[in-house]
Amino acid sequence: MPRTASKTAPLPDLRWTHLALLAAGALAASLVPAFGESHQKIIKSYGYNEYEALKYSPEDPHLAYVNPDAPKAGEISIASIGTFDSMNPYATGKGSWGAYSTIGYEDMMVSTSDEVGSMYCLLCETLEYPEDESWVIFNLRQDVKFSDGTPLTAHDILFTHNLLIDQGTPSYANYIKQVVTSAEALDDYTLKFTFAEDVPKKGMITQMGSLPAWSKKWYEETGARLDESRLEISPGTGPYQLDSLDVGRQIVYARNPDYWGADHYLMKGRANFDAIRVEYFGDSSAAFEAFKAGVYTFRRENSSINWATLYDFPALDKGWVTKDTLPDGALPGASGFVFNMRLDKLADRNIRLALGRMYNFTWTNENLQYGLFKQRESFWENDRLKAKGLPEGRELEILEEFRDQLPPAIFEEEAWLPHESGKRPLDRRNLRAALALMEEAGFTPGDDGLLRDANGQTLDIEFIHDRQSFDRILLPYVENVKALGVNITYNRIDPSQYQNRRQSNDFDMRFAGYGSGLVEGSGLTQKYGCEERDDIFNPAGYCNPVVDAIADRVLEVETYEELSAHVRALDRIMRHDYFMVPVWMLQENWVAYFDMYEYPGTLPEFGLGHLDYWWYNAEKAEALRAAGALR
């Protein structure tokens, strides 16, 4: 399970450090002496932000980006590719879990889609902690109920905490056992976590605030385990619950009419649909045809060829379907062709650079992606966090501390950027550069055109993927690598087998990515740390002791400027290490939907929210049905 499991903000990495919650009137925080510790003060508040004042308070009627008067009605339906045979996403490596199978669960604290770093009490009313953040107390609400009608208590959250340690992913369990020395329910609605003395306290409050609420009663009565594949979903406190499913084909989530938080200021204007239906299809082509026919009603497009060429069907021409490009301020995922760094044959950076040289972004984007994308350069495509040029200022000071462990290029060359490519599929200049890199790695061409090392062995690479729609993008790259003399094969496998292989790290190369956040913390070590190199959240198995050391220091920074300098240093090192071929990025949302959905006039910076704060227009829906637009 990821260490940052907020359900309300895109790709949050919730490792905040200490914030003086003292802004008068802004935080509604109170300071009182800690019992028995005159030098300590207890901070009590409804929320937490490390660097800035909280934007909202419980006195606010609702979040700024929602429509509090949005009707609660109707259905929105979406597509998913592949299949599913489980509804338990926490049993990693066991079964293919259904889309949105965590939708019914809420965390004690949640983030918003228009702030960086803020966390607010949802299942709790307030949190309390001393200035040194050595412990935290959550005072839970007493009106929260699970979908089966049973009340939520501190014993349920404590049970969740212990269950994750006992049956969750090893990386999460090992981490929590190191940093949390005790967890106790002080009474039915008060929960306390105490942190180890010898670990950084920064980020621990939001770590524990991100715990979801699972029903202790249900687990004990059913005997279910967190690490097993199963179709049953435990009761949750969230606005949606599982309504029906047809294994491998369809899932329907229904809004809980008795949802406890309907009038909570963080939830007003949200969870507006009576039902969310997920339809499964064997491939993206079948899914697109189904959308055109009205089998499902909302499509978030991710194919440039579809977006550029296929949106000319009758339902669009008749005005039944709306096609729109909406802003997306969230950090794009750090995606690309990932090398499995656990393998000796990919340990040489020159080999990885040579393989990367054969990717032609220019030709791919112009000829296969209709010029709609930009090439990704950084793991953090944001001006505050992206390494640029030569290191300077605070970033340089951080890197200087590790100069004897870093290659000179880190200091002498500008931050690594993707190579430039020409307009032909095979760029001869890059081919020559790649051959030179392979020669440095000890490979020379044989009589059969294949590169061989000093022992006469070829470099054998298998590139795996599970989506047919990617064939047209990946196959030209594979052909270019073959032209280099590498014995590469492209193997498209079924989604279930692909999931098993990626979870067991059984691959040479695959398309994958890393989630990045505008605020980073201990999640960095889970994604990029040496101890977590076999974790599912570190697909490349990347490991660099200097990155580990700098990532640890992120937990100790006191300002966002200091955080940014550390992240830029990490970005510079990771880009130089080249464990992934950076590909394309899109900082827009391509959406198409049957014209019965509406959204607030101003969308928040960090969220599309189509399943969250959009709503259903019954009159428009009835008109579409009368016209025969929908099935």
Would you say 277 and 252 are in contact if contact means Cβ atoms under 8 Å apart? yes
The lowest-confidence range among 6-15, 79-88, 320-329, 581-590 is 6-15
232 pLDDT band, cuts 50/70/90, is very high
Query: CATH code at 498?
Result: 3.10.105.10
Model confidence pLDDT, tens digit, residues 356-385: 999 999 999 999 999 999 999 999 998 889
Residue that the structure tokens 């579809």 belong to = 306
Model confidence pLDDT, tens digit, residues 523-538: 888 899 998 888 888 9
**Whether 476 and 573 share a structural domain:** yes
Residue 221 falls within a domain, yes or no? yes
pLDDT over 80 (residue 3): no
Model confidence pLDDT, tens digit, residues 194-219: 999 988 787 889 999 999 999 999 99
Model confidence pLDDT, tens digit, residues 449-507: 999 999 999 999 999 999 888 999 999 999 999 999 999 999 999 988 998 899 899 99
Neighbour-count burial of 559, counting CB atoms closer than 10 A to its CB (0-12 exposed, 13-18 middle, 19+ buried): exposed
Model confidence pLDDT, tens digit, residues 534-563: 888 899 999 999 999 999 999 888 888 999
Give the CA distances from residue 276 to residues 80, 137, 165, in Å, rounded to whole numbers and listed in that order: 13, 35, 32
**Whether 36 and 105 share a structural domain:** yes
- Mean pLDDT over 221-250 rounds to 96
Residue 619 falls within a domain, yes or no? no
Would you say 224 and 232 are in contact if contact means Cβ atoms under 8 Å apart? yes
**Where in the sequence is the domain holding 81, given as residue range(s)?**
1-283
E strand or H helix at 245: strand 240-246
Q: Tokens in use for 81? A: 């590719």
8 pLDDT band, cuts 50/70/90, is very low
Q: Which of 295, 302, 241, 239 is nearest to 269 (CA)?
A: 239
Residue 21 falls within a domain, yes or no? yes
237 pLDDT band, cuts 50/70/90, is very high
Secondary structure (3-state) at 215: coil
**Whether 354 and 451 share a structural domain:** yes
Residue 574 falls within a domain, yes or no? yes
**Whether 87 and 193 share a structural domain:** yes
Residue 147 falls within a domain, yes or no? yes
Q: Which of 326, 394, 381, 196 is nearest to 614 (CA)?
A: 326
Rounded percentage of the chain residues whose pLDDT exceeds 90: 79
**Whether 272 and 371 share a structural domain:** no
The number of folded domains in the chain is: 2
Contacts 24+ apart (CB under 8 A), 180-189: 180/204, 180/208, 183/158, 184/158, 185/153, 185/154, 185/155, 185/157, 185/158, 186/137, 186/154, 187/154, 188/153, 188/154, 188/155, 189/139, 189/140, 189/141, 189/142, 189/153, 189/154
Neighbour-count burial of 626, counting CB atoms closer than 10 A to its CB (0-12 exposed, 13-18 middle, 19+ buried): exposed
Would you say 379 and 13 are in contact if contact means Cβ atoms under 8 Å apart? no
Task: Give the pTM.
Answer: 0.78
Model confidence pLDDT, tens digit, residues 83-135: 999 999 888 767 789 999 999 999 999 999 999 889 999 999 999 999 999 99
Q: Is the dihedral of CA 394, 547, 169, 202 positive or negative?
A: negative
**Whether 390 and 274 share a structural domain:** no
Mean pLDDT score of the chain: 91
**Whether 264 and 374 share a structural domain:** no
Pairing of strands 487-492, 460-465: parallel
**Whether 575 and 485 share a structural domain:** yes
**Whether 354 and 241 share a structural domain:** no
**Whether 428 and 537 share a structural domain:** yes
Query: CATH code at 167?
Result: 3.40.190.10
Residue 623 falls within a domain, yes or no? no
Q: Which of 313, 336, 281, 593 is nearest to 470 (CA)?
A: 336
pLDDT over 90 (residue 251): yes
Domain boundary among 283, 302, 325: 283
Residue 497 falls within a domain, yes or no? yes
* Residue-level pLDDT at 585: 93
**Whether 256 and 355 share a structural domain:** no
Model confidence pLDDT, tens digit, residues 11-38: 222 222 222 222 322 333 333 444 444 4
Domain boundary among 283, 307, 342: 283
Residue 229 falls within a domain, yes or no? yes
**Whether 255 and 341 share a structural domain:** no
